[in-house]
């Protein structure tokens, strides 16, 4: 069995074809505000605490003024959008954080359930032999840190692509299909995909796009409380089974977590073990209160083995474990619509 050695970081997060019209898109992650009327400063702090998403914003008076959010329970991105509008800010997602940047210009974006979709840049080039111009638009998709997302298509499935000029005339550019479309692992709270098309008319002022991007994800992380007084234990939650088995190895102690998931649209190759990087183990020896941290771990095809150096003496007497792993994973087609995206003059 192929295995990889990785450094373990201890910590717990807040809790055949892609599925279209997934329930998650209809019921996005929500944020509960202390009151329907409060400042963007307080609203953003609430969203940050509840989702574990780092949000960077300024300290100007605009973030201190009272804003009517209409109700106290809102989808995460509604809170972000309302705060951006109230403070004349644009929403930038960089790495693991959402940033508010002062800007008067209108920002083009779409929100699809818990996903924020926004164009980032447009690159153009011309082949002087064929006289064909090719254009590649990079689009960002972001989500709150509380949502486990593991993989994304590199190219979107675009269903509608039209341009318009100053007279309102609509022209359909030719979409370019990429034969090397791949599914890429994601990190942080955002990734990008590209849309390619050819021969934009010189008179075009803007472009309208409608399509979908496929993501591999779970609704949330599950926390398993497992009794290992006998040196092993197993638990089933929401269709996911975690089986922990411990054994001594000289002065060290090893625990193997066997993960059994129901069959869904999410198919993983043997080399795609990166989805298990978010799994976490805390182990408390029987009769003690302080958890022990593993020194490192090895990832197999469907299991992870954790090493506790020098832990044989205390852990061989039994333990209690808290284990975090994603809920059932699936592929979801995320629809988006971007209208009025300006083109270079």
| Alpha-carbon separation of residue 111 from 4, 114, 335 (angstroms) | 37, 7, 9
Nearest residue to 216 via CA among 259, 271, 272, 258:
272
User: Alpha-carbon torsion 116, 221, 259, 298, what sign?
Assistant: positive
> For position 47, what pLDDT does the model report?
96
Largest Cα–Cα distance in the chain?
80
Strands 330-342 and 296-299 turn out to be unpaired
Residue 16 has what pLDDT? Answer: 37
Q: Which of 272, 148, 150 is nearest to 214 (CA)?
A: 150
Spatial distance between the Cα atoms of 43 and 83, rounded to a whole number of angstroms: 8
* Model pLDDT, residue 290: 92
Token pair belonging to 188:
């942080």
Helices 76-86 and 40-51 pack at an angle, to 10 degrees, of 150
Q: What's the confidence (pLDDT) of residue 178?
A: 56
Q: What are the 10-residue block averages of pLDDT along the chain, 345 residues in total?
A: 34 38 67 96 96 92 95 95 95 93 88 94 90 89 93 85 76 64 85 86 86 91 95 95 96 96 85 87 93 91 92 94 94 92 83
Whether the Cβ atoms of residue 214 and residue 224 lie closer than 8 Å to each other:
no
144: nearest Cα among 255, 29, 282: 29
Six token digits for residue 184:
């890429």
Q: Is 269 exposed, middle or buried (0-12, 13-18, 19+ CB in 10 A)?
A: exposed
Tokens of 233: 């234990």
Other CB atoms within a 10 A radius of the CB of residue 77 amount to 25
331, two tokens: 């592929």
Query: How many angstroms separate the CA atoms of 226 and 248, rounded?
Result: 19
Q: Give CA–CA dist 302/240, Å, rounded.
A: 12
- Phi-psi domain of 153 (left: phi exceeds 0; alpha: psi -120 through 50; beta: other): beta
* pLDDT in the model for residue 288: 93
Position 24 scores a pLDDT of 65
User: What size, in residues, is the chain?
Assistant: 345
């Amino acid at each position: 069995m192929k295995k990889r050695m990785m450094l373990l970081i201890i910590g717990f997060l807040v809790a055949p074809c892609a599925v279209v019209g997934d329930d998650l898109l209809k019921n996005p992650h929500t944020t509960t505000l202390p009151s329907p009327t409060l400042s963007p400063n307080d609203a953003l702090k609430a969203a940050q605490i509840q989702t574990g998403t780092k949000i960077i914003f300024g300290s100007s008076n605009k973030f201190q003024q009272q804003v009517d959010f209409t109700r106290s329970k809102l989808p995460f991105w509604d809170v972000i959008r309302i705060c951006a509008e109230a403070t004349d800010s644009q929403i930038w997602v960089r790495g693991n954080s959402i940033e508010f940047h002062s800007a008067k210009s209108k920002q083009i974006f779409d929100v699809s359930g818990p996903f924020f979709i926004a164009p980032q840049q447009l690159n153009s080039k011309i082949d002087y032999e064929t006289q064909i111009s090719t254009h590649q638009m990079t689009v960002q998709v972001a989500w709150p840190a509380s949502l486990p997302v593991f993989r994304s298509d590199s190219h979107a499935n675009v269903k509608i692509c039209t341009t318009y000029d100053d007279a309102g005339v609509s022209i359909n550019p030719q979409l370019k299909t990429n034969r090397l479309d791949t599914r890429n692992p994601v990190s942080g709270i955002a990734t990008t995909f590209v849309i390619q098309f050819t021969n934009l008319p010189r008179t075009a002022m803007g472009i309208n796009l409608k399509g979908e991007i496929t993501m591999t994800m779970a609704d949330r992380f599950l926390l398993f409380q497992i009794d290992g007084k006998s040196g092993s234990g197993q638990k089933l939650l929401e269709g996911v089974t975690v089986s922990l088995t411990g054994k001594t190895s000289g002065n060290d102690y090893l625990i193997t977590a066997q993960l059994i998931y129901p069959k869904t649209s999410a198919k993983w190759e043997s080399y795609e073990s990166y989805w298990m990087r978010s799994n976490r183990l805390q182990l408390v020896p029987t009769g003690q209160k302080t958890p022990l941290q593993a020194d490192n771990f090895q990832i197999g095809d469907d299991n992870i083995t954790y090493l506790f150096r020098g832990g044989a003496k205390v852990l061989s007497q039994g333990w209690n474990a808290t284990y975090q792993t994603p809920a059932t994973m699936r592929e979801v087609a995320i629809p988006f619509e971007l209208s009025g995206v300006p083109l270079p003059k």
